[in-house]
Amino acid sequence: MTAVELPGAVRERVRSAERVVVFSGAGVSRESGLDTFRGAGGLWERMRPEELATPEAFRADPEKVWQWYAWRYQRVAEASPNPAHQAIARLEAVFPFIIVVTQNVDSLHRRVGSRNLLELHGSLARAFCNRCGRSRDMGEAIAESPGAPPICTCGGKFRPGVVWFGESLPEETFEQACEAAASCELFLSAGTSATVYPAAGLIELAHRAGACLIEINPEPTPFSGLMDLRLAAPAGEALPALADAMERCRWPTT
Ligand SMILES: [Zn+2]
């Protein structure tokens, strides 16, 4: 994708926006090689996340689930942020207030410098005790006990700090995300099929609040019809071009 031309109405909204929400999904991490944890070869290649990322799986076979997450942690540690993460971080200098709401657990937004970050599905970087809730660094927990979940002083087991299938989103984080969506002037949805509820409800909140909506996703989503601007391209191509266009719009002399 070469350059993005903002339609006139969108340009006006970009020029005046003070509060911006970026909502990111798996597509944003695709060019970092993390859109899927399959296909890398080896022991875990044929495992389905749905069969391991559940409280039931952890109860039935905590060692297996822990080892799978140790492997995923390692893959994320070896991955690098890509141009999509960099473009989103760059927007922090363009708008007075920007908050990144992500469905990703890989911390790549944090590593590239996004400061206002809400991780709706938790983070692979943390572990917490399944009994008392004590939190600790996941890398240290894996180093201490690579083959099985470390045992907490309370007798509970440490588990990955991610939201599993069948679990609800962290309440406070989700509320902050809803408030941000309901009070923003510009809402940018990137690399998400927007089909996972309740996260996708953020788009509806922003729409009801009258925000200008922009979508970046190769395929249409259930919300494509609501969008003021839709870029049908991978996040790693479209986001840098969009950030360029927004900079030109906000800083017309450059
Ligand atoms: Zn504990």
What is the pLDDT, as a whole number, of residue 195?
Answer: 78
What is the pLDDT, as a whole number, of residue 39?
Answer: 45
What is the pLDDT, as a whole number, of residue 254?
Answer: 55
**How does pLDDT run across 183-208, given as a tens digit for each residue?**
999 999 999 988 777 778 999 999 99
Give the single-character DSSP code of 152.
Answer: P
The pTM assigned to this predicted structure is 0.93
Q: What spacing in Å lies between the alpha carbon of 152 and ligand 1's midpoint?
A: 5
DSSP strands (E only) in the chain: 19-24, 97-102, 117-119, 122-129, 135-137, 158-162, 186-190, 212-216, 229-231
The active-site residue out of 85, 109, 121, 207 is 121
**How does pLDDT run across 56-110, given as a tens digit for each residue?**
999 999 999 999 999 999 989 999 999 999 999 999 999 999 999 999 999 999 9
As residues whose CB is below 5 A from the ion ligand 1, the structure lists 129, 131-132, 134, 152, 154, 156
Q: What spacing in Å lies between the alpha carbon of 154 and ligand 1's midpoint?
A: 4
**How does pLDDT run across 99-142, given as a tens digit for each residue?**
999 999 999 999 999 999 999 999 999 999 999 999 999 999 99
Q: What spacing in Å lies between the alpha carbon of 106 and ligand 1's midpoint?
A: 24
Q: What spacing in Å lies between the alpha carbon of 159 and ligand 1's midpoint?
A: 10
Which span out of 8-17, 29-38, 43-52 was modeled with the highest average pLDDT? 8-17
Tell me the mean pLDDT in the region 225-237: 96
Q: Is the pLDDT of residue 230 over 60?
A: yes
121 among known catalytic residues: yes
Q: What spacing in Å lies between the alpha carbon of 112 and ligand 1's midpoint?
A: 32
| Other CB atoms within 10 Å distance of the CB of residue 253 | 4
Q: What spacing in Å lies between the alpha carbon of 85 and ligand 1's midpoint?
A: 34
What is the pLDDT, as a whole number, of residue 44?
Answer: 67
Q: Is the pLDDT of residue 144 over 70?
A: yes
CA distance linking residue 54 with residue 166, whole number of Å:
7
**How does pLDDT run across 24-36, given as a tens digit for each residue?**
999 999 889 876 5
Angle at alpha carbon of residue 233, lines to 232 and 236, rounded to 5°: 150
Q: What spacing in Å lies between the alpha carbon of 107 and ligand 1's midpoint?
A: 24
**How does pLDDT run across 172-184, given as a tens digit for each residue?**
999 999 999 999 9
Q: Is the pLDDT of residue 231 over 90?
A: yes
What is the pLDDT, as a whole number, of residue 197?
Answer: 76
Q: Which residues pair with 102 in a beta bridge?
A: 24, 119
SS3 208: helix
Q: What spacing in Å lies between the alpha carbon of 136 and ligand 1's midpoint?
A: 11
What is the pLDDT, as a whole number, of residue 170?
Answer: 93
Task: List the structure tokens of 178.
Answer: 């809803």
